[in-house]
Amino acid sequence: MKIHYFYKRDYAQGFYKLEISAWLEEKEISRQGINRLSFTRLEKLRIFLSKGDQYHVHTIEHDFGKNSCYGHYSHTRKELIEDMKKQDCKPLDRRNYERFRKVALALYHKQSLVDFSTFKGKQNYNVRQIWGD
């Protein structure tokens, strides 16, 4: 049993954008009796944060599970790695994977929530509806 780690980091001025995923490799026997590999996603973490004060954009998506039902269609390591390359994901070792996850979650927790008390008074912009009610 082996775990494969991948990351994808996009560079955008003023934003953090990171995606990491971990895939568990297991041996299985197909219905035809062929020994092959099976890959199950253990974790996927996507985070998008604004760095500055001009925009407050803050998105996190974190799927994980010990007995996950997310599988991958590939049955060889080569197929898994090729598909990850198509998605612009690069391989990563466990130590750096856990470091990336720790930093991403710390950045998420550091972000302040929306302060609703700052939205007082009259709306100062118009919303024009093109179709509908």
Per-domain residue ranges of the chain: 2-115
Give every CB contact of residue 35 below 8 A, 6+ residues apart in sequence: 27, 28, 29
Q: Give the pTM.
A: 0.79
How far apart are the C-alpha atoms of 8 and 87, rounded to whole Å? 8
How far apart are the C-alpha atoms of 117 and 32, rounded to whole Å? 63
Tokens of 49: 């944060």
Give every CB contact of residue 47 below 8 A, 6+ residues apart in sequence: 16, 17, 18, 19, 59, 60, 61, 104, 107, 108
Amino acid at 41: R
How far apart are the C-alpha atoms of 68 and 126, rounded to whole Å? 46
How far apart are the C-alpha atoms of 42 and 40, rounded to whole Å? 6
Q: What are the pLDDT digits (tens) for 30-88?
A: 889 888 899 999 999 999 888 776 677 888 898 988 777 788 888 889 999 999 999 99
Q: Give φ, ψ of 110 to 5 degrees.
A: -75, -25
How far apart are the C-alpha atoms of 18 and 97, rounded to whole Å? 11
Q: What are the pLDDT digits (tens) for 75-123?
A: 889 999 999 999 999 999 999 999 999 988 888 888 777 777 777 766 6
CA distances from 17 to 20, 89, 121 (A): 10, 13, 34
